[in-house]
């Protein structure tokens, strides 16, 4: 075993420390016990990181218009292309669209090139899609983009309010820290505010299933209630804040009546009152919020309505209390620090502030400086669409999948004169539109820093060589800058050189006026940088010979960053989402993440163990709404909005109220025929933050008429082999096989002899079976509309397919995964293949719950029933489920609760 390299997980904003080592050439991953964010734990995604490595699917070489090129040719082509377009059309005709997946060093050089040397602020980031409203809310309230608290506050609080956050799935290690705190202090209360009854609700003392978009009513109502009931820290308000009376006047006028709040939120008065009373009487309260708050046309007001309540009660800057924005991506906060957004300059300075412009230009010694706001993500792609922007460089992100109105984004790139895409993945929906493709180093290969949700800067360290000719993003940007004539300012030799310049800029002419100050790290040597321990900013320059120290909490002693040193209350008049439902589109579409996938699945989609929990694109809705729409659970449904449509499997999990639907964000054209949810989302944004309204698009659901459904398992297969007979498909990666869920419109049953022969011919080709000999077995029940076939070589199952007129007549996928994984199948297995079900009852473990140990729902239910298990710990002892990463613990708790109280078990139709 090689010595472990200490690095950081590349997925969510929790920013867990990871130990990466190698044994017999295989990468081993473990949680870093010394990292303060996770203290050794990793969730299902982090635990599977080793399975996402390797050269398969990677972009290995630069190319220009699909032809392999040398790095010099490709970089020169990019530099010349950008320079020419700037010469001919001006600097506002070019743009960068970057990513929270980039390291701070990558962000820093990209921002420096665009704002200080090209001279426009047209650089925005996909973090615009997840936390721009939190940034804008922080700046309005605090005068700076600060998260005042730290993760420890979640453990010190007596009340945790989780707003718009499925913490159990999206920030699992924080959720586990909360669960552990509750185990130790059963009086810790947890309130979940979310339109969906997500797995996070398994630990909720109170769940408020508010109507999507109604949060400002709830928190303006709380502000009014706190004031009326006298729960005010008058000294704090008087000495450390301004504008309380304006905010209170609006709150009293519009949300002062709890009946009105209850009606607007769609929650009964008693529950609202219970929440208000709990908040009022609990001093140590933390309100953690995430995309459910931010992704709204009123996202910034939502954030400020939460902060207002903490300011009125003085619950901020102290242990166990405060508003807490939990970021989505691993380096969303690092990007903000480096200025990688269209409305920032660098080091948290404002792009429109003349003094800041002078400070940054002087520090960079740059020929120019951006002086106006750049285009934010949605507007930026609109400007590409209408031809104002003629060259775009997209780094480490997949906007053709992830942006709202994603079909228009595709059109925009089709029209763009020069599209440069740097990424580590060869085939993404966005890469398909690249004129120049640049191979970037991926996680495990690149070196730099990231900042997590609690302002903690951690090192990501390389432990593998990049495959092919892949290079770090900071290097690629610097090489283009050199070729554009800016060599002296981009003469960095290592990420450490970039980092110390970034740190020095944060302290330059700061004088305590800017919250983001890591000047204490500006003198790091390479050895210091390599050994840098996780540290929370600000990090001030230490006295001589002392080590730099971080800062766990900000706003201590009521100090804020507006020129008056006070926090500002913001009046937040409640308003609904921009587009309302109507007869044509009567449902509210909500989008979000699932437990085991990350973004557009370019990495997590490679790990078989992450693919089985929720394997397919789905639309979740209330069972009654499904009935009204005429679609049954497990069938395919077409989801349409005014902006586009997709096809997904219908699910009725019991998580949604009537009138709402949920579709996950992860699927793309690279892994499914028709499931990019971005195509559905309205392009409405928050007027202040520019963050899109992903949580509220009017939609409708209709049946997708198909003649048959199928499950296909093959060892290798190009997607194109499915055409033309397969109308809809999705591909799921297994260990040593590919699984396809398929459906088609052509009749497959009750056929004449010729058509039957044709069908068999098609199936044999799908399975790669050379002829209808002993290696090919099949079975047809035409009356029931069933056809099964398998290709068996020796005793090994090579491929199989199951076709049926009804999806619920197809066999258990978990059982088939088991057969595909066997080296030799036996007579029972052969019999099962033809019977379409396992011959022995234990062979079907049911839908996967625990990814780490592949424990299915049937196994768990059986263990709970047969052994009378009462707690998750007992289930873990008996089945191992939940004993590694713990991501499945909420589902295990739900199963246990279902056994204790069968009426609690909602209808569940796992896919």
Residues forming the site for ligand SF4 (CB under 6 A):
9, 11-12, 14-16, 38, 42-43, 45-46, 171-173
Residue closer to ligand SF4, measured from CB, 665 or 816: 665
Residue closer to ligand SF4, measured from CB, 173 or 661: 173
Q: Which residues are paired to 457 by β-bridges?
A: 451, 535
What is d(CA 845, CA 843) in angstroms, rounded to the nearest whole number? 6
Residue closer to ligand SF4, measured from CB, 12 or 286: 12
Residue closer to ligand SF4, measured from CB, 168 or 212: 168
**Residue 50 burial (10 A CB sphere; 0-12, 13-18, 19+):** middle
Residue for token digits 């979310």? 194
Strands (E) across 69-156 are located at 94-98, 123-125
Residue closer to ligand SF4, measured from CB, 13 or 856: 13
What is d(CA 577, CA 187) in angstroms, rounded to the nearest whole number? 36
Q: Which residues are paired to 536 by β-bridges?
A: 456
Residue for token digits 């709404």? 625
Shortest Cβ 887–ligand SF4 spacing (Å): 8
Residue for token digits 């940088």? 529
Shortest Cβ 539–ligand SF4 spacing (Å): 22
In sequence order, what DSSP letters do the residues of 776-818 get, joined into one string? EEEEEETTTTEEEEEEEETTEEEEEEEEESSGGGSPPHHHHHH
Residue closer to ligand SF4, measured from CB, 111 or 460: 460
Residue closer to ligand SF4, measured from CB, 339 or 608: 608
Q: Is the dihedral of CA 662, 666, 672, 676 positive or negative?
A: positive
Q: Which residues are paired to 882 by β-bridges?
A: none
Q: Find all residues with CB under 8 Å of 583, minimum gap 6, and list them.
A: none
Q: What are phi and psi of 704, to 5 degrees?
A: -100, 110
Shortest Cβ 607–ligand SF4 spacing (Å): 12
Shortest Cβ 479–ligand SF4 spacing (Å): 31
Residue closer to ligand SF4, measured from CB, 172 or 882: 172
Q: Which residue's C-beta sits nearest to ligand SF4?
A: 46
Shortest Cβ 12–ligand SF4 spacing (Å): 3
Please tell me the number of Cα atoms within 13 Å of 225 on its side-chain side: 23
Residue closer to ligand SF4, measured from CB, 46 or 698: 46
Residue closer to ligand SF4, measured from CB, 172 or 832: 172
Picking from 721, 713, 719, the residue whose alpha carbon sits closest to that of residue 737 is 713
Token pair belonging to 331: 């380096």
Token pair belonging to 845: 């473990």
Q: Which residues are paired to 637 by β-bridges?
A: 648, 703
Cβ count within 10 A of residue 90: 13
Angle at alpha carbon of residue 831, lines to 828 and 834, rounded to 5°: 150
Shortest Cβ 775–ligand SF4 spacing (Å): 43
Residue for token digits 């200080």? 116
Secondary structure of residue 308 in the 3-state scheme: helix
What is d(CA 214, CA 795) in angstroms, rounded to the nearest whole number? 59
Shortest Cβ 306–ligand SF4 spacing (Å): 23
Shortest Cβ 612–ligand SF4 spacing (Å): 18
Query: Does residue 384 contact residue 131 with C-beta atoms inside 8 Å?
Result: no
Residue closer to ligand SF4, measured from CB, 43 or 306: 43
Shortest Cβ 39–ligand SF4 spacing (Å): 11
Residue closer to ligand SF4, measured from CB, 567 or 889: 889
Shortest Cβ 330–ligand SF4 spacing (Å): 7
Residue closer to ligand SF4, measured from CB, 47 or 430: 47
Shortest Cβ 396–ligand SF4 spacing (Å): 17
Residue closer to ligand SF4, measured from CB, 46 or 444: 46
Shortest Cβ 170–ligand SF4 spacing (Å): 8
Shortest Cβ 827–ligand SF4 spacing (Å): 43
Secondary structure of residue 282 in the 3-state scheme: coil
Picking from 414, 163, 271, the residue whose alpha carbon sits closest to that of residue 406 is 414
Shortest Cβ 906–ligand SF4 spacing (Å): 26
Residue closer to ligand SF4, measured from CB, 172 or 683: 172
Under DSSP, the state recorded for 114 is I
Query: Does residue 169 contact residue 598 with C-beta atoms inside 8 Å?
Result: no
Residue closer to ligand SF4, measured from CB, 37 or 69: 37
Query: Residue 172: enclosing H or E segment and its boundaries?
Result: helix 172-184
Q: Crossing angle of helices 244-255/215-228, nearest 10°?
A: 110
Cβ count within 10 A of residue 432: 15
Residue closer to ligand SF4, measured from CB, 42 or 307: 42
Length in residues, the chain: 911
Query: Does residue 453 contact residue 327 with C-beta atoms inside 8 Å?
Result: yes
Shortest Cβ 886–ligand SF4 spacing (Å): 10
Q: What are phi and psi of 439, to 5 degrees?
A: -80, 120
- β-pairing, 159-163 vs 189-193, is parallel
Token pair belonging to 124: 């925005």
Shortest Cβ 188–ligand SF4 spacing (Å): 20
Shortest Cβ 327–ligand SF4 spacing (Å): 11
Residue closer to ligand SF4, measured from CB, 155 or 844: 155
What is d(CA 259, CA 274) in angstroms, rounded to the nearest whole number? 13
Token pair belonging to 571: 């009046």
What is d(CA 476, CA 548) in angstroms, rounded to the nearest whole number? 31
Picking from 661, 539, 536, 609, the residue whose alpha carbon sits closest to that of residue 884 is 609
Helix, strand and coil content of the chain, in percent to the nearest 5, comes to 35, 20, 45
Shortest Cβ 18–ligand SF4 spacing (Å): 7
Query: Does residue 736 contact residue 714 with C-beta atoms inside 8 Å?
Result: no
């Amino acid at each position: 075993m090689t010595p472990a390299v200490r690095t950081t997980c590349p997925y969510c904003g929790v920013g867990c420390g990871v130990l990466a080592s190698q044994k017999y050439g295989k990468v081993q991953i473990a949680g870093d016990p010394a990292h303060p964010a996770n203290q050794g734990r990793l969730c299902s995604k982090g635990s599977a990181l080793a399975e996402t490595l390797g050269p398969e699917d990677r972009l290995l070489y630069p190319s220009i218009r699909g032809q392999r090129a040398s790095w010099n040719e490709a970089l020169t082509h990019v530099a010349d292309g950008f320079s020419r377009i700037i010469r001919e059309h001006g600097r506002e005709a070019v743009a960068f669209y970057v990513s929270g997946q980039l390291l701070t060093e990558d962000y820093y050089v990209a921002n420096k090139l665009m704002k200080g040397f090209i001279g426009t602020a047209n650089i925005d980031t996909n973090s615009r899609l997840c936390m721009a409203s939190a940034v804008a809310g922080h700046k309005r309230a605090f005068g700076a983009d600060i998260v005042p608290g730290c993760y420890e506050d979640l453990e010190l609080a007596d009340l945790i309010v989780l707003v718009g956050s499925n913490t159990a799935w999206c920030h699992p290690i924080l959720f586990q820290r909360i669960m552990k705190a509750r185990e130790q202090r059963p009086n810790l209360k947890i309130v979940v505010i979310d339109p969906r009854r997500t797995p996070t609700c398994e630990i909720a003392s109170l769940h408020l299933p508010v109507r999507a978009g109604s949060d400002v009513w709830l928190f303006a109502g709380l502000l009014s209630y706190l004031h009326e009931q006298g729960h005010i820290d008058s000294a704090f308000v008087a000495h450390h804040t301004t504008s309380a009376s304006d905010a209170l006047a609006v709150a009293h006028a519009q949300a002062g009546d709890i009946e009105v709040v209850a009606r607007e939120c769609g929650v009964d008065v008693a529950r609202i009152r219970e929440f208000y009373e709990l908040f009022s009487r609990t001093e140590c309260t933390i309100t953690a919020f995430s995309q459910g708050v931010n992704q709204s046309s009123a996202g910034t007001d939502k954030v400020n309505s939460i902060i207002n309540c903490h300011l009125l009660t003085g619950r901020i800057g102290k242990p166990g209390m405060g508003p807490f924005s939990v970021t989505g991506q691993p380096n969303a906060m690092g990007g903000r620090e480096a200025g990688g957004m269209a409305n920032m300059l660098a080091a948290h300075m404002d792009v429109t502030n003349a003094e800041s412009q002078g400070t940054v230009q002087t520090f960079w010694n740059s020929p120019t400086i951006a002086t106006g706001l750049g285009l934010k993500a949605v507007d930026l792609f609109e400007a590409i669409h209408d031809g104002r922007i003629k060259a775009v460089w997209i780094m480490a992100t997949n906007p053709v999948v992830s942006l709202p109105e994603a079909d228009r984004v595709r059109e925009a790139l089709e029209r763009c004169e020069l599209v440069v895409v740097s990424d580590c993945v060869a085939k993404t929906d966005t890469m398909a539109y690249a004129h120049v493709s640049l191979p970037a180093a991926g996680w495990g290969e690149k070196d730099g820093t990231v900042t997590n949700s609690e302002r903690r800067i951690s090192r990501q360290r390389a432990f593998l060589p990049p495959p092919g000719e892949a290079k770090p993003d900071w290097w690629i940007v610097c090489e283009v800058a050199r070729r554009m004539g800016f060599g002296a300012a981009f003469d960095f030799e290592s990420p450490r050189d970039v980092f110390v310049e970034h740190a020095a800029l944060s302290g330059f002419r700061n004088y305590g006026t800017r919250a983001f100050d890591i000047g204490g790290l500006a003198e790091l040597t390479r050895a210091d940088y390599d050994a840098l321990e996780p540290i929370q900013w600000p990090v001030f320059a230490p006295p001589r010979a002392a080590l730099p120290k971080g800062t766990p909490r900000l706003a201590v002693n009521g100090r804020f960053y507006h020129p008056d040193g006070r926090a500002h209350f913001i009046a937040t008049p409640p308003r609904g989402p921009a587009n309302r439902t109507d007869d044509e589109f009567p449902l509210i579409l909500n989008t979000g993440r699932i437990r085991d996938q990350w973004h557009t699945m370019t990495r997590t989609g490679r790990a078989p163990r992450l693919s089985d929990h929720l394997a397919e694109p789905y639309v979740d809705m209330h069972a009654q709404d499904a009935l009204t729409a005429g679609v049954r659970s497990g069938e395919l449904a077409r989801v349409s909005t005014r902006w586009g449509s997709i096809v997904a499997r219908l699910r009725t999990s019991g998580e949604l109220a009537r009138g709402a639907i949920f579709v996950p964000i992860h699927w793309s054209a690279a892994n499914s025929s028709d499931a990019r949810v971005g195509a559905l989302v309205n392009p409405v944004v928050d007027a202040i933050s520019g963050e899109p309204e992903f949580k509220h698009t009017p939609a409708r659901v209709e049946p997708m008429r198909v003649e048959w459904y199928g499950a296909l398992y093959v060892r290798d297969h190009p997607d194109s082999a499915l055409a033309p007979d397969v109308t809809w498909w999705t591909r799921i990666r297994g260990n040593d096989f590919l699984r396809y869920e398929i459906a088609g419109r052509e009749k497959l049953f009750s056929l004449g002899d010729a058509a039957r022969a044709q069908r068999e011919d098609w199936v044999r080709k799908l399975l790669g079976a050379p002829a209808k000999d002993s290696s090919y077995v099949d079975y047809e029940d035409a009356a029931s509309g069933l056809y099964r076939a398998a290709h068996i070589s020796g005793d090994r199952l090579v491929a199989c397919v199951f076709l049926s007129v009804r999806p619920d007549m197809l066999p258990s996928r978990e059982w088939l995964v088991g057969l595909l994984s066997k080296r030799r199948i036996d007579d029972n297995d052969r019999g099962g293949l033809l019977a379409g079900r396992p011959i022995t009852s234990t062979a079907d473990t049911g839908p996967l719950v625990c990814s780490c140990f592949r424990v299915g729902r049937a196994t768990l239910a059986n263990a709970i029933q047969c052994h009378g298990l009462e707690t998750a710990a007992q289930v873990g002892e008996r089945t191992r489920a939940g004993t590694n990463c713990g991501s499945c613990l909420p589902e295990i708790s739900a199963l246990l609760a279902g056994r204790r109280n069968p009426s609690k078990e909602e209808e569940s139709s796992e896919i």
